[in-house]
Amino acid sequence: MVDKKKLLLRQVAHWTQAAARLQQLEDLAAPEAWRGLDEPLARTLRESLLASIARLHGRGHKLIALINQASKNSPLDAIEQDLSAFRKQYFKVETTVDFFTNAINTRTNPEMSAMLRACDYMAEQSMRQLLQPLGYSTPPAFTYITQGRGASILKKDIKLWDRETSSPVAAIKIVRHNLLRPTSLIHESGHQVAHLLNWNKELGDLFRQKLGQFGTELAEIWASWASEIAADTYAFVHTGYAAVTSLHDILIDDSRDAFRFLHGDPHPINYLRVRLNIAFCRVSFGLGHWDELESEWNEKHPISEAPAELQLLLESSIPLLHDIARLCLEYPLQAFRGRSLSHWLSPDRVAINTLEQMARNIGPAMYNSNYWIRNEALRLLAYHGYRLALEPENAHQIMQQQRNWVLQLGNTLTTNHDLSNYKNNKQWHTQHHQNQRLQPN
């Protein structure tokens, strides 16, 4: 006859030991990768992951205790159900741990590590410039690189896969092809800011209110795009024309993509999205190079190629783009303490003539002064982005300059990791693993 208690103990032991092995974070992400993080960021990630694992490990030990306490004739059905739930929870925690350790492992190369530290810094700087004057603390940013077309964010405090742990950081994915042109980094930071300020809902309600006179359906569709429009606006006020051209170049596929519309998709129709971003330029800077960009876009994607069912929406929206851009930039919102976004982050800071004047004033120090690189990182990103747009024949040189100052920025952000501390931490965690002292929070 099968000894059900032994069977259950064997299974619980398997998953409890597997949970204990997860705590060996240095086995999952290389020491070099951990050292590629700023020390407070590394500590924040480590503590969050270990806490999640501790809760899981504690559940396993409670199950072992319940099984051992059960008498020979006790029904074990409830314990079997708990075991099933424990096993499922293991995989959820494992997914959480793997997500972060795989992302950390993108920093094993010293150069990539420096680049991503610079991206962490720029993302945090972009958030701080608005959140600090509004009285909010700035979430830590953690960037990682992968393949693909577009960036994304896992916002701070969002529940993770285990449903018990909240993300301790704003984790931002940067795609490899855009590493030296990362205005999308600021778009994703904008998502985090909008989440904190309740900007998305307020902007959506504003679209319903102001566009309702042109049709309820049109107003509702624009309101459904509020979150992506807010993030685009945020990238624009920080990086200006660079954000617009970067978005344009990513989206300039064939007309099937330009006019694709999916109900429930928070992204505007690409055709309207690019033209709205160009309208940001026109509202903020008047006439300029963006007018030629718009002409090229319209020539590439004539509205006549749009599906018939979208014609009315497109034709009704185009005359409103200028006003929608003004709403995004200039309308006072409670999210911004009753002022507009432009009040706190004026687009004038990243106008082309302002950026050119900055370059003349700083001179060669723009590429070798830690002070200027740290304090003007976002405007340097804007400056090189607009130069790439206007001087494609000099793309190699501009990209090299961009790479050099980003690397310098990343290398000046000392991580303060010490190998002896790392070894001590490893010894401490190993001892906990061997003694099975890890307790739930």
Residue 436 has pLDDT above 70, yes or no: no
Tens of pLDDT, residues 293-326:
999 999 999 999 999 999 999 999 999 999 999 9
Work out the pLDDT band at 434, boundaries 50, 70, 90.
Answer: very low
**Which pLDDT does position 122 carry in this prediction?**
98
Which amino acid is present at 31? P
**Which pLDDT does position 41 carry in this prediction?**
96
Main-chain dihedrals φ then ψ at residue 376, nearest 5 degrees: -120, 25
Q: How far is CA 24 from CA 94, 322, 434, in A?
A: 12, 55, 11
What residues form DSSP beta bridges with 159? 166
Tens of pLDDT, residues 326-368:
999 999 999 999 999 999 999 999 999 999 999 999 999 999 8
**Which pLDDT does position 74 carry in this prediction?**
67
**Which pLDDT does position 388 carry in this prediction?**
96
Ranking 10-14, 85-89, 321-325, 430-434 by mean pLDDT, the lowest is 430-434
Average predicted confidence (pLDDT) for the chain: 92
CB 102 within 8 A of CB 154: no
Residue 439 has pLDDT above 50, yes or no: no
Judging by beta carbons within 10 Å of its beta carbon (0-12, 13-18, 19+), is residue 240 exposed, middle or buried?
buried
Q: How far is CA 432 from CA 72, 306, 391, 440, in A?
A: 32, 62, 58, 13
**Which pLDDT does position 73 carry in this prediction?**
63
Give the whole-angstrom CA distance, residue 417 versus residue 427. Answer: 16
Label residue 148 left, alpha or beta by phi (over 0 means left) and psi (-120 to 50 means alpha). left
Tens of pLDDT, residues 204-241:
999 999 999 999 999 999 999 999 999 999 999 999 99
Question: Strands 170-175, 141-146: parallel, antiparallel or unpaired by DSSP?
Answer: parallel
CB 417 within 8 A of CB 34: yes
Residue 422 has pLDDT above 70, yes or no: no
The domain spans of the chain are 4-109
Mean pLDDT (whole number) for 236-255: 92
Quick one: DSSP state of residue 170? E
Tens of pLDDT, residues 153-165:
999 999 999 999 9
Mean pLDDT (whole number) for 369-393: 96
3-class secondary-structure state, position 146: strand
Q: Cβ contacts of residue 405 below 8 Å, gap of 6+? A: 366, 367, 373, 380
**Which pLDDT does position 419 carry in this prediction?**
38
Tens of pLDDT, residues 46-99:
999 999 999 999 999 999 999 988 876 667 888 999 999 999 999 999 999 999
Mean pLDDT (whole number) for 162-171: 96
Give the whole-angstrom CA distance, residue 85 versus residue 81. Answer: 6
Count of residues in the chain: 441
Closest CA to 325 of 317, 335, 316: 317
Q: Which position has the token pair 């909008």?
A: 194
**Which pLDDT does position 252 carry in this prediction?**
87
